[in-house]
Chains A and B, each alone.
Chain A
Amino acid sequence: MRPLDVIEGGVSVLDRADVDTDQIIPKQFLKRVERTGFGEFLFYDWLRSGEIELEPNPILVAGRNFGCGSSREHAPWALEDFGFEAIVAPSFADIFYVNCTKIGLLPVELDEEHCRAVAAAGEARIDVDDQTVTCAAGVFEFEIEPDVQHRLLHGLDEIGITLESAAAIDAFEAAGRAARGPVTTEL
């Protein structure tokens, strides 16, 4: 994952609430076993029918509960591959939000009014360190978990970080707290 510091540029707008990941990347494209190349299938049905238009700007402003439904990480992969570096919305579905942070696609939660202001401005600058979105309408602050922010700023591999705690995981297992649960290999 590359470090994420400042995202700056044009803003695309998808003014719909409850956009589910089935729309972001329809099921027929989940059959691929690769991690790349999903951008051309982004919003496949909506873009091809002309129902919506989207420019591949660095920033996408969307409606509330964005990314609901299926846990498919293919959705953030497609958004990122299409060209988006940050998604700004009043709220996100939990799994989608987490998936974005794992791949370095920045989810930014702003209240509805500020989302509209960013959309209207057409251009914005998002600073991950300062936790601010700056556009013609003003400077808006957003929240992000400190650990997530740190990992994004430095482009860190989360598995690598957890593996540094291998001793703690060993100890947890040795203490028997993890002995419970099935031994699936003997089923």
Chain B
Amino acid sequence: MPKTMFDKIWEAHEVSEGLLYVDLHLVHEVTSPQAFDGLRMAGRGVRRPDKTLATADHNVPTDGTMAARLIADELSRVQVETLERNCEEFGIPLYSLGSDRQGIVHVIGPELGATQPGMTIVCGDSHTSTHGAFGALAFGIGTSEVEHVLATQCLVQKRPQTMRIVYSGELGAGVTSKDLILATIGRLGTGGMVGHAVEYAGPAVRSLSMPGRMTVCNMTIEGGGRAGMIAPDETTFEWVRGRSAAPPDFDAALERWRELPTDEGASFDRDVEIDATGVAPMVTWGTNPGMVVEVTDSVPDPAAADSPADRESAERALAYMGLEPGTPMTEVAPERVFIGSCTNSRIEDLREAAAIVDGRRVAGSVRAMVVPGSQQVKAAAEGEGLDEVFRSAGFEWREAGCSMCLGMNPDILAEGERCASTSNRNFEGRQGKGGRTHLVSPKMAAAAAVEGHFVDIRDWT
């Protein structure tokens, strides 16, 4: 019987029914301390430190602080130091502050080649779905499950349903993978993929680079999806080849990986088709990623909502965002611009943004920053001179970390500040209490920084 890629990976990892073996467990400082405590209390060890990898990302300052003990915020310092102690005690490899391999956990996994096709990958972080871009089954877990994986290298899992989203046609000029996934979530809703492992397919996905694919899979969780996946192909193999953790016998691995894509005729529990040619640059207007419109549209009128409940949430969102219905999105003026996060902080994202700002200046009304996803991305960008492009345009060029995506470190919005952000969540208070987030692509963020308001990148010169 023809099988989906999800079926193949799931079945290859079932130790017994509902017990899934984990090939790679990524760990960071926020969701792991209680799990390590649990191990100690029960006298348990870590079963496979060699399939575990840790980094510090959520809490780290991006101002050049280069050791955990130097972190000014006491609680953050304790959390990063606790991670360092735990990794030492349990023999888990760690790239903490000061390492040239430190970075956002979902950036460094693929960067090291640790993320590979056909694997099961988990992390105590919802954006673990990112790694599905390699044709892996990757999803976020809670702290109890982190402890479970540390102790057993397995996870008790209910088999999700399957869903395939086929994108026909190609993305237009200036339209990016970020717009593609935002448009998808806008159409399906923030709960539209709940309970499903989602495979993205079709020509528009095939022609995406690995960073572009990672952006799509990353935001699967914003549509409620359990996991996002893209079949591996030559683009995937070329990314993994030669990286530190790539399989030593690469040809043998290639042979296995080529068997992974969904078989012809395999059926999914749900099929969705989206015309990629019709996707425009997107901007969120509300307080969840499903509240999104094309940049050429206006802030929607809650009165047009489908139900009283939707109307009420739209009204609440607009009040929080300080927006009036009917305002053209191109008149919305952010005071802050953030380029970074596990969604859009890879070298390609920075190149795209740099190409927009090259030779231009950030508007006087805007404070803009670029936060590379990892130390390796930062080094690569500096090697290409991108840091100079950003600096001379008036951007701050910072150290690697989650930064302003989630406000757990000093990079936060002030109350009422409006931000064009390449991150993944526009929830109330996400980037700082009272902060107002508009999710956009790196190109759109960069252009907004220059103009001081959103622009349609397709006809902006």
Contacts and interface: CB of A to CB of B under 8 A. Distances in A.
Interface of A: 16-18, 20, 22-23, 26-28, 30-35, 45, 63-65, 68-74, 76, 91, 93-95, 98-99, 102-103, 145, 147, 157-159, 162-163, 165-166, 168-169, 172-173, 177-178, 180-187
Contact of A102 (B145, B195, B406): B145
B143 A159 contact: no
Contact of A181 (B116, B124, B190, B221): B116
Contact of B430 (A22, A91, A168, A181): A22
A185 B313 contact: no
Query: Which of B141, B142, B156, B430 has the most C-beta atoms of chain A within 10 angstroms of its own C-beta?
Result: B142
Contacts of A74: 143
Given A165-B19, A181-B24, A20 B288 contact: yes
A64 B42 CA distance: 37
Nearest to A95: B140
Given A159-B42, A159-B148, 14 more contacts: A27-B429, A31-B30, A65-B224, A69-B222, A71-B141, A72-B30, A95-B140, A95-B141, A162-B154, A165-B15, A168-B16, A169-B15, A172-B21, A182-B23
A23 B93 CA distance: 33
B353 to A, nearest CB: 25
Contact of A182 (B16, B30, B116): B116
A71 B191 contact: no
B23 A91 contact: no
B15 to A, nearest CB: 5
A93 B425 contact: no
B249 to A, nearest CB: 10
B309 interface: yes
A169 B221 CA distance: 29
A22 B428 contact: yes
A18 to B, nearest CB: 5
A18 B191 contact: yes
27 contacts: A17-B313, A22-B427, A27-B407, A28-B408, A31-B59, A31-B76, A32-B75, A33-B37, A45-B433, A68-B224, A70-B126, A70-B425, A73-B124, A73-B142, A93-B191, A93-B194, A95-B140, A102-B142, A158-B156, A162-B148, A165-B16, A169-B15, A177-B13, A181-B24, A182-B53, A182-B245, A184-B114
Given A71-B124, A172-B15, A184 B53 contact: yes
B51 interface: yes
A162 B16 CA distance: 10
A187 B143 contact: no
Contacts, number: 209
B155 to A, nearest CB: 9
B40 interface: no
B327 interface: no
B385 interface: no
Nearest to B157: A98
Interface string B95-121: 000000100000000001110101100
Contact of B144 (A73, A181, A184): A73
A145 B75 CA distance: 38
B156 to A, nearest CB: 6
Interface of B: 12-13, 15-16, 18-19, 21, 23-24, 30-31, 33-34, 37, 42, 44, 47, 49-53, 58-59, 73, 75-76, 78-79, 82, 91, 93, 101, 112-114, 116, 118-119, 124-126, 139-145, 147-148, 151-154, 156, 158, 160, 190-191, 194-195, 221-222, 224, 226, 244-245, 247, 253, 256, 288, 290, 309-310, 313, 406-408, 425, 427-430, 433
Query: Which of B18, B21, B143 has the most C-beta atoms of chain A within 10 angstroms of its own C-beta?
Result: B143
Contacts of A102: 142, 144-145
A159 B75 CA distance: 29
A74 B144 CA distance: 11
B194 A94 contact: yes
Closest 6 CB pairs of A and B: A102-B144, A99-B142, A181-B23, A31-B75, A73-B142, A65-B191
Given A70-B126, A98-B142, A182-B114, A30 B408 contact: yes
A63 to B, nearest CB: 7
Given A72-B31, A169-B21, A182-B113, A187 B191 contact: no
B53 A187 contact: yes
B335 to A, nearest CB: 21
B183 to A, nearest CB: 18
Contacts of B79: 31, 33
B190 A65 contact: yes
B44 A159 contact: yes
Contact of A162 (B51, B140, B152, B425): B152
Contact of B15 (A72, A93, A168, A181): A168
Given A27-B406, A102-B144, A165-B19, A145 B158 contact: yes
A31 B408 contact: yes
Contacts of A177: 12-13, 21
Contacts of B118: 180
